[in-house]
Structure 1
Amino acid sequence: MSAPDTNVERQEDTHKPALLGIRGALIFGFAMILLMVIFTFSRGEDPSAETLIGSEAERVEGERPGAGVAIDTYAPGTNETN
């Protein structure tokens, strides 16, 4: 069943503030996501030797694997390092 008195023009005028608020919230949300992506890419940098872990530390860009990076090896199943 449909509503007995459907006047779309009057309902549009009545709901205009709510629709503008929803539209504003969507624009604000998209702007925040866009700014977050731009900020993330602008702050990105190559990782340094201090931030690399495990086998990544061996592959320092521009150097041969393992050059200048000390890696502490361990025996699996123990807490002892070599």
Structure 2
Amino acid sequence: MSAPDTNIETQKENHRPPLLGIKGAMIFGGLMLLGVVIFALMNGSEPSAETLIGTETTVQPSN
């Protein structure tokens, strides 16, 4: 059951600041995430031939 004397316009006005704060936090979080992705892409480097991947060792065949 809903309250019989609910004023929708008053509720809209009362909830406006918290909703703006939530939207602002979502935008800020999205921009920060985008910034982290751009930062990672800008500072990454491709592996070179000397880069050791894992713990592989080369075994020389004994003749």
Q: Residue in 2 aligned with 1:31? A: 31
After superposition, give the CA deviation of every residue in 1:21-44 in whole Å (9 maximum; x if it has no partner): 101100001101111111111112
Instruction: Indicate the SS of the match to 1:15.
Output: helix
CA–CA separation in structure 1 for the residues paired with 2:54 and 2:15 = 59
In the superposition, the TM-score normalised over structure 2's length comes to: 0.72
CA–CA separation in structure 1 for the residues paired with 2:54 and 2:7 = 68
Count matched residues: 58
User: After the TM superposition, which parts of structure 1 deviate over 4 Å for at least 4 consecutive aligned residues?
Assistant: none
- What residue ranges of structure 2 are gaps of 5+ in the alignment? none
Q: Residue in 2 aligned with 1:10? A: 10
CA–CA separation in structure 2 for the residues paired with 1:37 and 1:4 = 50
In the superposition, the TM-score normalised over structure 1's length comes to: 0.58
Shift in CA distance, 3/26, structure 1 to aligned 2, threshold 3 Å = same
How far apart are 1:52 and its partner, in Å? 2.3
Percent identity for Structure 1 against Structure 2: 55
Q: Residue in 2 aligned with 1:42? A: 42
- What residue ranges of structure 1 are gaps of 5+ in the alignment? 58-70, 74-82
- Say which structure, 1 or 2, has more relative contact order (CA 8 Å, 6+ apart): 1
